[in-house]
């Protein structure tokens, strides 16, 4: 058995549809709960959600980027002790989140490459808390981020946003920076900048209908939550 904590993948055709239909254009600078879903029932009167920016920008030289992750309590009662995880996948690596603690590699969810846990003593009704996230994004890969909001002991996940992708369908390798959109699968430019790299066997031979199947698989695999043993 893997030394990492188990990551349960849940989903359905409905979840896949949700992930697909939530992709809408938004004004620059807006935040979104795109790709988010309630999982376990929160305490009465508590309604927790998260927000990510609709757009981020990646420096083409350093691959550095920054974003803000926000957790909100849209309910009528205080949350009590909770925690939010900020986890990177594939080409997106979370480097630092001030005020949060790095998650040990053995405790990361399966498939993730980095993460931080942000304990919150209490989130008042109607309140929110934001975290500055420093990250890198390898533009020759896809990249995803996930924000689970859990009970303090990690036994319940009240809300989970992602893993949701950032990406662009119009790479700009010769520009100083590449803008990426939330909810968009990255189409990385090849080293020469003229064609997309092949990331799978026979990728260029896939029939037209396979695009829809790929979206469906991406949607159904997008809901997970990490379970950890309560701390002593």
pLDDT value for 117: 98
pLDDT value for 170: 87
pLDDT value for 172: 83
Q: What are phi and psi of 40, to 5 degrees?
A: -85, 155
pLDDT value for 189: 73
Spell out the domains of the chain, with CATH numbers in brackets.
Answer: 7-191 (2.60.40.10)
pLDDT value for 147: 98
Give the chain's residues under pLDDT 50: 1-28, 193-223, 225-232
Is the N-terminal amide bond of 190 cis, ω within 30° of 0? no
pLDDT value for 29: 52
pLDDT value for 191: 59
pLDDT value for 192: 52
Fill in the DSSP letter of residue 108.
S
Alpha-carbon radius of gyration of the chain: 18
pTM recorded for the entire structure: 0.72
3-state secondary structure of 133: strand
pLDDT digits (tens, 9 = 90+) for 49-82: 999 999 999 999 999 999 999 999 999 999 999 9
Spatial contact of 145 and 111, defined as CB atoms under 8 Å apart:
no
Residues 6+ apart with CB under 8 A from 58: 64, 65, 137, 139, 177, 178, 179, 180
pLDDT value for 171: 87
Residue found under tokens 């697909």 = 20
Nearest to 114 by CA among 148, 140, 90, 138: 90
Phi-psi region of 45 (alpha: psi -120 to 50; beta: other; left: phi over 0): left
């Amino acid at each position: 058995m893997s030394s990492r904590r188990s990551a349960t993948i849940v989903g359905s055709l409905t979840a896949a549809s949700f992930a697909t239909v939530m992709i809408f254009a938004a004004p620059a600078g807006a935040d979104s709960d795109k790709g988010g879903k309630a999982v376990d029932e929160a305490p009465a009167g508590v309604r927790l959600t998260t927000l990510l920016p609709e757009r981020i920008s990646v420096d083409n030289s350093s691959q550095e980027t920054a974003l803000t992750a926000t957790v909100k309590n849209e309910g009528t009662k205080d949350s009590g002790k909770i925690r939010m995880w900020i986890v990177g996948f594939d080409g997106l690596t979370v480097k630092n989140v001030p005020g949060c603690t790095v998650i040990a590699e053995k405790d990361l969810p399966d498939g993730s490459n980095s993460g931080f846990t942000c304990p919150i003593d209490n989130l008042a009704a109607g309140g929110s808390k934001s975290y500055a996230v420093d990250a890198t994004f390898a533009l020759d890969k896809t990249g995803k981020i996930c924000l689970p909001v859990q009970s303090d002991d990690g036994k319940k996940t009240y809300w989970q946003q992602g893993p949701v992708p950032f990406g662009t369908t119009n790479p700009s390798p010769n520009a100083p920076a590449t803008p990426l959109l939330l909810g968009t699968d990255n189409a990385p430019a090849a080293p020469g900048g003229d064609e997309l790299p092949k990331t799978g066997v026979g990728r260029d031979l896939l029939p037209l209908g396979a695009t829809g199947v790929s979206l469906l698989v991406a949607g159904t695999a997008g809901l997970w939550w990490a379970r950890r043993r309560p701390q002593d």
